[in-house]
Structure 1
Amino acid sequence: MRTAVIGLGLIGGSLLRALARAGHDVVGFDADPPTRELARAAGHRVADSVSAAVEGADVTALAVPLPVLPQVLTDLAGQNGLVTDVTSVKGPVRELIAAHGVRGFVGGHPMAGKETSGFAASDPDLFAGCAWVLCLEPHETDLGDWLTLAGLFTVLGARVVPVTSAEHDTAVARISHVPHLFASALAAQLAGDPLSAALAAGSFRDGTRVAASRAELTAAMCGGNAGAVHRELRRLIGDLEEFADRLESPDPVAALVPPLAAAGDLRRAWPPAPGEPETIKAEVDPLLELGRSGGWVTAVHDGEVVALRPESGRKLS
């Protein structure tokens, strides 16, 4: 399959490398000339423009930040292949796609990354075992297009999760975007406090890892999903305020144990163990039900997909 990857940072560069290793005819492009040269030096075909990269492509993956996407979509005018993206927020991308009249689009988001960025940090194994959201909008997404991409990404080792863009944006606000903001707030506690910096150890390191991400990327991610992030951030603040209230109780130790124990049980049970493989029809409703149950697609066959879902969420036959 002829593929094009636009944007060769951590995710785009990793996708370029993974597709090439899987035997696909892949060409990349990045607006940054040194990045293009770095990718060429690694042995990859790299074009000098978006239009040159996507010419004749069966699939084009857009791996650029949300603020850059409008210009790239303009450059795609006349491209007839299937288009997907890796942006961490899906609602605004869906709106941009509609505004630019792009056909054959399936929104995507691989839940993979590092605190480092750029092509130098890219890794063809980055997607092995990761959850890769592919948005499936009823009465909008072409099922054949969706299955083509699901087949492509499962071969790279990803777990393809079918959900709508709205469901995706709420979930990632809760488990990705708000944690980035929380990590930044924790890291900021070191300002003007050398003693705390000297004493900080494992819990601080683990809780602040993503605060080392590029500020521009985190801001674009959270700002692009502002509505859902605001709701989930307020929910988290409410939970923290409840802890504060429990600390003021006559017996704060006893008051803290129940919510801490409940959270500990949830954390120890994550990630959930998968059940046995099952085969489901490659239709919109069964696929969305699979995603909503926490399940994912592992392989695509004619008219069917092989799926796994968490043991607790498996349907009993």
Structure 2
Amino acid sequence: MQPYTQNWTQVTEFVLVGFAGVQEARLLFFALFLTMYLFTLAENLAIILVVGLDHRLRRPMYFFLTHLSCLEILYTSVTVPKMLAGFIGVEGGKYISYAGCLSQLFIFTFLGATECFLLAAMAYDRYVAICMPLRYGSLVSWGTCICLAAACWLAGFLTPILPIYLMSQLAFCGPNVVDHFFCDASPLLALSCSDVTLKETVDFLVSLAVLLASSTVIAVSYGNIVWTLLHIRSAAERWKAFSTCAAHLTVVGLFYGTLFFMYVRTKVASSINFNKVVSVFYSIVTPMLNPLIYSLRNKEVKGALGRAFSLKSWKRQ
């Protein structure tokens, strides 16, 4: 941070460096990230389509899964296309306006926070289904599901309002080179010539509140699920249930672990390259894994996919 003076001009656009250290292999990285992005889109679109078409999947669990799929599509689309354009040198691919940068940061934070709350709602749904099956219909009614989903989206939308407002009050006098593949808070703060102490503190507190609130619900829900599963007499059913929970918790742990590392801190990171690698995990890898873990390993979803894309189904239409 440099001392701000009235003689300096406010930056009007930023340059996204992306992965500058891999220029010789940029086409390989372009192909890799494009494949992952297209795979993420295909997986999530398939889930949305199948749940919408198959009446047998009109249940709360799949209702939440369609919301998660919508989130994953939007979440990756906020950053990946711009990153891909930078890899292949599309005109203007590395440039983003000041307003565009703040908008990207707002939307990315909004969607990320919404996903945290939605994962917590999904964990609660599984907790009630497994631990209190006789009360599931009353505790997780369609009205409850709609309210929970709306609350997740609303809370996610409210999360970045104060942090982005404070970011908009900072002065950026140059240089304007963001050492990242999208407009994240940490590399932007490193460029500001204003005092960023308040902004860093608010970011820390907001991130901590979102992550702790949602991860606590997830931890308590899955803790109770595991306790219930321990009392299942059938070893085969117990192992099957444990494998499903372990897969869920692996993805959730990866997502939350990287988010805690990136955002629950008050200092601008010093290892930028390592931060980029961590960012790839929660912004690209986890959205690709979520559909596989939560949906496509599920026998009901696989059966619905088979019915939806079978020749007989098309002939009936």
TM-score (norm 1): 0.28
Q: Which has the higher contact order (CA 8 A, sep 6+)?
A: 2
